[in-house]
Amino acid sequence: MTATPDTFTGLSDKRITVRLAAVKALGTGDAAGAVPALVAALNDTHPSVRSAAAVALGRLEDTAATAPLTGLLDDEEPEVRMAALAALGRIRDRSAVGAVIRCLKDRDMAVRIGAAEVLGRLGDPRAIRSLTTLSGDTFSEVRDAATAARRKLQRKTGR
């Protein structure tokens, strides 16, 4: 689907399906104004639209989306926080490291895993100490993700 002027109008439609389609269309191309429109969609009332907007911003890989995406890391819905993390991992803007590190303490196990994986991708050595603290996490999946990310960072930085 290609973005058209109707795509932008679809972002304010009362139907979730139309808003979702508009968000997905904006994330597939280089339509002028797509990033600001998708950033606005991060505030949608429906979590699926917020998640889709985060994914779309990740596809566009524009660092202008970093700050709004880090704001989404406090969303009440784990699926939205996960989508924001995935997008930040694609954008690879190190200015998000501090916000992603805070997600290592998230109440949701999948979010902690996602945060560890993103920190491994971002390649910032500031994350090593925080990843080490997850060695005592209740869930082995979290411990494993943190260990893998920490090792990746140590290889990159020689620490």
Pair 70, 106 in one domain: no
Question: With bands split at pLDDT 50, 70 and 90, how would you rate the model's confidence at 128?
Answer: very high
Full-model pTM: 0.92
pLDDT tens digits, residue range 23-33?
A: 999 998 777 88
Given 38, 56, 91, the domain boundary residue is: 91
Q: Average pLDDT, whole number, for the chain?
A: 93
pLDDT tens digits, residue range 26-83?
A: 998 777 889 999 999 999 999 999 999 999 999 999 999 999 999 999 999 999 999 9
Pair 27, 49 in one domain: yes
Q: Count the domains in the chain.
A: 2
- Say how far apart CA 47 and CA 51 lie, in whole Å: 6
pLDDT at 3: 64
Pair 66, 81 in one domain: yes
- Ranges of H-type helices in the chain: 5-10, 16-26, 34-41, 47-60, 66-71, 78-91, 97-102, 109-122, 127-133, 140-157
pLDDT at 2: 56
Structural domain span for residue 4 = 1-91
What is the CATH classification number for the domain harbouring 101?
Answer: 1.25.10.10
Pair 110, 51 in one domain: no
pLDDT reading at 5 higher than 80: no
Question: What angle separates helix 34-41 from helix 47-60, to the nearest 10 degrees?
Answer: 150
Q: Which two tokens stand for residue 98?
A: 């501090």
Pair 1, 79 in one domain: yes
pLDDT at 14: 95
Pair 63, 141 in one domain: no
Pair 19, 84 in one domain: yes
